[in-house]
Amino acid sequence: MDFGDTPAEAAFRAEARAWLEAHAPVKGSPEAFDKMSSPGRSAEEERDLAARARAWQAQLAADGWACLDWPQEYGGRGASTVEAIIFDEEQGRFGVSMSIFMAALSMAAPTLMAWGTDEQKQRFLKPIRRGEIVFAQLFSEPNAGSDLAGLQARAVEDGDEFVVNGQKVWNSYAHLAEWGILLARTNSDVPKHQGLTYFFVKMDSEGLDPRPLRQMTGGAEFNETFLDNVRIPKENVIGGVNNGWAVAQTTLNSERAAVGAQSSVVDVDGLVDLARRQGQGDDPAVRQALAEAWIRSEVLRYLGMRVYTALSQGTEIGPEASIMKILTGDHIRDTSQAAMELLGPDGMLSDDSWVSLMISHFAHKIGGGTPEIQRNVIGERILGLPREPRADKGIPFRELKV
Ligand SMILES: Cc1cc2nc3c(=O)[nH]c(=O)nc-3n(C[C@H](O)[C@H](O)[C@H](O)COP(=O)(O)OP(=O)(O)OC[C@H]3O[C@@H](n4cnc5c(N)ncnc54)[C@H](O)[C@@H]3O)c2cc1C
């Protein structure tokens, strides 16, 4: 199999690169906005970076480069998955970050396409593509992360609305978002997976309060979010009442693939440059580390193609997304560690981007599902090992001790 560009793909790459060179900010330039989670960034700087990301997404949409592989009826080009990957690869060379749109583009949009009504698709997909809506994912709770189906936020029917009470946590960019995707319990009399409903909720709803959490990176893009009698119209239920677990699988599969596809945050060429600048390009141990970093990035590139091909063919993303997610976390950890060794003790005091990557590598490993959970998926779905024992199987949620 040849993974090089075909002549048509090479022409597409050249066209994309030319457009990006004319419009995208160069990495490290004052116009760049690829440092959304830099240490010590103020709320004002964060709002400025978010505004630039929104303007960039709007420009991509206006010039026909946004959501390339979406169907044309929602504004996409109907381009191939390979073309979408090529554009992302090229865009990754510039000072651009699309992280505030991750929940909108990689969670809300695919979920809407799979489960939304025509009216919901018409209402949300085009504005998402134009960068007009930032979404937040309101799934995790203090007692429900890996065991998401054990969540306790409750939504109670009241006329044409649901009234939601509860607490969510680790909600990326919730303080900047216009809309949230929310999982809440609508029936406690059935086993935990069966009584959940998936909502779109306006983040400026009365009673909804996202509070940023400061992390050890210095950034504060996470939030804990409190919901106190938040009213959601029934028209904002996605995929049917009490069907939320099935709907959430679409979101979670797509999220896992998107988080796993973040290996491009590691600049292997930059690591090689760093080794040269530090005068260590001829050190045998350093050369081993550089070659390993390059091998990991190539393996991840091919795995990414496999996952995106499955997505483009409408096939459910398989456990390869779990493999990719584990390897991406390891790649970010090991490569940033190699960079820290090259920087030496000075690295601990510098604000070099390798330092923030090293500190934030835990986030990449945990977000979208921890390595242990991914290994359980691989054990069950690839190796055919028995499923994990479940003491709560078949027991109504209200009878569980949570
Ligand atoms: C960068 C980042 C972004 C995130 N963004 C969001 C967001 O926008 N919205 C949102 O809702 N959530 C978000 N999260 C939360 C994330 O989904 C959870 O942190 C994750 O699912 C783990 O849940 P937890 O933190 O509750 O850990 P727990 O589930 O309590 O796990 C604790 C430890 O126990 C292990 N463990 C748990 N169950 C098992 C098991 N069955 N077998 C083996 N080991 C197990 C875990 O691997 C882990 O090591 C984000 C997290 C991060 C780090």
Cα(271) to centroid of ligand 1, in Å? 30
Q: Which residue's CA is minimally distant from atom 48 of ligand 1? A: 370
Work out which ligand 1 atom sits closest to the CA atom of 362: 53
Q: Write out pLDDT tens, residues 322-337.
A: 898 899 999 999 999 9
Q: Write out pLDDT tens, residues 294-320.
A: 999 999 888 887 877 776 676 767 788
Decide if 125 contacts 48 (C-beta within 8 A).
Answer: no
Which residue, among 224, 238, 134, 257, has the nearest Cα to 196 in the 3D structure?
A: 238
Q: Note the pLDDT of residue 217.
A: 75
Q: Note the pLDDT of residue 2.
A: 65
Q: Note the pLDDT of residue 351.
A: 64
Q: Write out pLDDT tens, residues 90-134.
A: 998 899 988 899 999 999 999 999 999 999 999 999 999 999 999
Residue 314 tokens read as 């409408």
Fold of 136-242: Butyryl-CoA Dehydrogenase, subunit A; domain 2 (2.40.110)
Where does the pLDDT of residue 218 fall: very low under 50, low under 70, confident under 90, or very high at 90 and above? confident
255 catalytically annotated: yes
- Check pLDDT > 80 for residue 262: no
Where does the pLDDT of residue 153 fall: very low under 50, low under 70, confident under 90, or very high at 90 and above? very high
Work out which ligand 1 atom sits closest to the CA atom of 368: 17
Domain with CATH 2.40.110.10 in the chain: 136-242
Which residue, among 129, 66, 132, 52, has the nearest Cα to 97 in the 3D structure?
A: 52
Domain spanning 247-381, CATH architecture:
Up-down Bundle (1.20)
Q: pTM (2 decimals)?
A: 0.92
Residue 154 bridge partners (DSSP): 165, 185
Pocket test for ligand 1, best of 101, 107, 146, 203 (most atoms within 8 A of CB): 146
Domain with CATH 1.20.140.10 in the chain: 247-381
Q: Which of 255, 292, 372, 380 is catalytic?
A: 255
Q: Which residue's CA is minimally distant from atom 4 of ligand 1? A: 367
Q: What is the mean pLDDT of residues 29-52?
A: 81
Work out which ligand 1 atom sits closest to the CA atom of 138: 11
List Cβ neighbours of 318 (8 Å cut-off, separation of 6 or more).
310, 381
Q: Write out pLDDT tens, residues 327-386.
A: 999 999 999 999 999 999 888 777 667 888 888 888 889 988 899 999 999 999 999 999
* Percent of the chain whose pLDDT exceeds 70: 95
Q: Note the pLDDT of residue 215.
A: 82
Average pLDDT, the chain: 90
Q: Write out pLDDT tens, residues 16-25.
A: 999 999 999 9
Pocket test for ligand 1, best of 171, 253, 326, 370 (most atoms within 8 A of CB): 370
